[in-house]
Amino acid sequence: MKLFLMFFTSILSFVIIVGALSYSVSKDVIKNKMADSTLQTVTQAGQKLDFLYQTFEDVTLQVMYNNDVQKLLETLSKIDPLSYDAADPSHQLTEKLNFVAFSNKAIKTLRIYRPDGKLIVATGSTGYESEVSVSDTDWFKQIVEAGGKAAWLDSKSKGYSNDSGSTFGIGRIISNATSNLLIVEFSTDILNNELDRITLGENSSVVITNSSNKNLATFDKTELEQTAAIQLTKEQIEKSQDSFTTKDDHLVAYYRSPISGWNLIGDVPVSSMVKDAKRIFNYTLIVALFAAIAAVLIGLFVVRMIGRPLVNLRNLMQQGEKGKLTVRANYTTKDEIGQLGNSFDSMMEQITTLVQQTSTSAQQVYETATELSNSSKTTAIAAREIAIATEEISGGAAGLATESERGNELTHHIGMQMKNVIEANLEMGTAATDVQSSSELGTKYMAELIDKTKLTETMIRSMVDKVANLKDSTRSIRQILDVLNNMTKQTNILSLNATIEAARAGAAGKGFMVVADEIRKLADQSKQSIHVVGQITEKIQVEINETVKVLSTATPIFKQQIQAVNEADTIFKQVTSHMGGFVVRLSTVSDSISTLEQSQEVLSDAMMNVSAVAEESLATSQEVASLSTEQLNISNGLVRLSEQLDQLSKSLNETLSKFEV
């Protein structure tokens, strides 16, 4: 049956594999050709759309570079938009924009805004009032951020004026003194008409999306502004054009416009492209059916010629498997089947002879295994006792080695601590010497500071006395100034009297009157000078009083400073005395530590010798224990082998008893 299945499966498999390969290769070829064709179609359509996009941008340039429009915008920027003077320029500007709008049927509306977002003029109907600002809208900010370049505004189902239907827009800043903002809205039907002209195949679809994968133009208007079914990654968007296959087996080709930055995406199901290749698959199924019938006929013939003799020989082998060695095939044919039967008969005869010889040998092996088992058990018992004794010796040696190693480590640790103590003692001695020297130097400096402080106190006392004398002098000057001030007043009175008398004398007293005036002027000047000197003297007296207060405050402080300096000098002397005794004690401690260090070195050498002897003893005992363990393992292994040999001989006798010879 297996031979029949082999022929049947081989023929059918070859036919199916060849057909499947043909179908797969043809499918891939068609898919690649269609991918190239689809990409070329989408690219050509995208380039055609670029031409259309360029005409739309030219509309904005036509308005922006129109001199009449710029002049009217400048005029409107200089007058109140609600005044009567603004009516005529607004009407003229509207006519200019209407002319542009009527020249292109795709244009829905044209609107011009001020920089603050308020509407200046518009064509057609608009949902925005002139006094309503749109500066906060996203599309207004997008146009401002473009900085004079054309800003392509995505399609909206209600447009950008809320009353213009489904539109997309182009906006830019008008480059003139007013920096007004222009937006032109176009009907999305223009894009939809262009998409209708693109044919990629059965069940295909074409859409226009932006860089955020939002639908801008599609066959189904309800999908406008919705997320596109085909999502392009950032890496794919960076390419100008490419094609790829999605997970759901759709061929996608796209083209990115360098003008608008929008993506034209074509989607074609791979199944619709390769439907013609299914003919090859159908022909493959028909050929496979005929091949299956041929395989059945060939298989039946092979079974008749080869299968039956093999089944008979299999039955004889099953009887021999059960122990019946007397079976024979007795084939008389000279072909391969007859040769196989003769070989089977010869094999059964040789097996019969071999079983008889093996039965005799198995009995001898059984007897030898019994003797070997008894001897190995005796050896194993002796080896086990030796191993136990050796392990006890090894354990004692290991404990001794561990303790000696521990003592050695402890001695080494003590030695390291002694070195640290010696180093610390030396550092303390050095530090004590430095402290003693510093205290002596401090005592010397404190003596000098006491002398200088006393000298400063003497100078301050002298300064206080001099300031007191200066204070008395300023009082005297003040008294003198008072006298001079009185004299000046009297001089003024005398000059006034002289003037009166000169006036009474008439012409004879004119010369005397001049002298009286000069005396009065000198008296006034003296009064002013005395007043200035009085102010200066008073200021000097105030400053002298403040100086006296400061010196009076500083005198107790200097006395306290002298007392503190004397106390610090006493402390420095005490430190010098104590540090001398401390240095002597440190010297005694250093001698004791040196003696202790020598003893520690002797102890360390002794512990190292003990550790070495313990390690040698441990190594020897471990080696003996290892040999004893190995001998025990060998003895146990020998016992196991003898038992296995005994069991094997018994099993062999039982097995041979099953054969019928």
Q: What tokens appear for 580 in the block?
A: 């001398």
Lowest mean per-residue pLDDT among 119-133, 311-325, 492-506, 545-559: 119-133
9-48 pLDDT per residue, tens: 776 677 677 766 766 766 666 677 777 888 888 899 889 9
AA letter at 629: T
Q: Which of 64-78, 370-384, 502-516 has the highest mean pLDDT?
A: 64-78
Q: 119 in helix, strand or coil? A: strand
pLDDT of residue 636: 74
Topology of domain 65-187, per CATH?
Beta-Lactamase (3.30.450)
Q: What is the dihedral of CA 557, 561, 562, 564, to 10 degrees?
A: 140
Burial of 497 from C-beta contacts in 10 A (0-12 / 13-18 / 19+): exposed
635 CB contacts (<8 Å, ≥6 apart)? Answer: 376, 379, 380, 382, 383, 384
Report the b/e string of 362-387 with b at 16+ CB within 10 A: beebbeebeebbeebeebbeebeebb
> Could you tell me the pTM of the whole model?
0.43
State the average pLDDT for the chain: 77
450-488 pLDDT per residue, tens: 777 777 777 777 777 777 777 777 778 777 877 777 888
Contact between 453 and 565 under an 8 Å Cβ cutoff? The reply is yes
594 CB contacts (<8 Å, ≥6 apart)? Answer: 422
Query: pLDDT category, 286, cuts 50, 70, 90?
Result: confident
Contact between 435 and 505 under an 8 Å Cβ cutoff? The reply is no
CA distance 211 to 596: 88
CA distance 53 to 258: 10
Q: Which whole number is the average pLDDT over 309-318?
A: 75
Contact between 524 and 485 under an 8 Å Cβ cutoff? The reply is no
* Superfamily of segment(s) 371-649: Methyl-accepting chemotaxis protein (1.10.287.950)
Q: Give the start-to-end residue ranges of the domains of the chain.
A: 65-187, 371-649
> What would you report as the CA-atom Rg of the chain, rounded to the nearest whole angstrom?
63
By C-alpha distance, which of 525, 500, 524 is closest to 512? 500
Q: What is the DSSP string of 234-254?
A: HHHHHSSEEEEE-TTSEEEEE
Q: What tokens appear for 185 in the block?
A: 């809205």
353 or 631, greater pLDDT: 353
Q: What tokens appear for 311 in the block?
A: 């089944």
Beta bridge partners of 185: 109, 169
